[in-house]
Amino acid sequence: MDKRLDHMSSTMLKIQRRIYSQILLNDCFHISDEFKGKRYFMTKTDKSFNISDADAVCQFYGGYIVEFEDADEIEFVYDFLKRVDSGKLHYTGVIYHETDKNHVYYHSGKPVPTELWGQGEPNDVGAWPMWETIRIALL
């Protein structure tokens, strides 16, 4: 009897956590439609993060800072950001890897596909050396 009660209590707690997490997600983030099995989240309030903090928040919610695979994904994310928060700068997961002297995605360490760079990029011009223009500027 005690094992069944413990199991029921544990199950109830998991359900409560899921419900709370979903409410918290909806309160804190704009959530995109699904695209190729993925969803994209953007904070509803302005946050000042460094890239490691931004990625840590993403990981807390089971994701990672955006890493584009192709131009269709960039277009999808661009349209999503225009709908919910046009006119602002947004993080991508692109950083300059000093050791290898190339641009990689922060979370996975994979190189950024060259076909995704905008014309003349990467050129390391901007307030941060990691601010580079991927084909469609997310502005």
Any idea how long the chain is? 139
Residue 12 phi/psi, 5-degree rounding, is -60, -40
What are the tokens at 38?
């993925």
Same domain, 63 and 112: yes
Is a pLDDT exceeding 80 seen at residue 105?
yes
Same domain, 8 and 74: no
Same domain, 55 and 24: no
The answer to whether 96 touches 124, Cβ cutoff 8 Å, is yes
Same domain, 91 and 121: yes
Is a pLDDT exceeding 70 seen at residue 84?
yes
Please list, in sequence order, all residues whose beta carbon lies within 8 angstroms of the beta carbon of residue 32, skipping any fewer than 6 positions away.
39, 40, 41, 76, 77, 80
How do residues 16-63 score in pLDDT, each as one tens digit?
A: 666 656 666 778 888 899 999 998 888 887 766 678 888 888 888 888
- The count of domains in the chain is 2
Same domain, 13 and 36: no
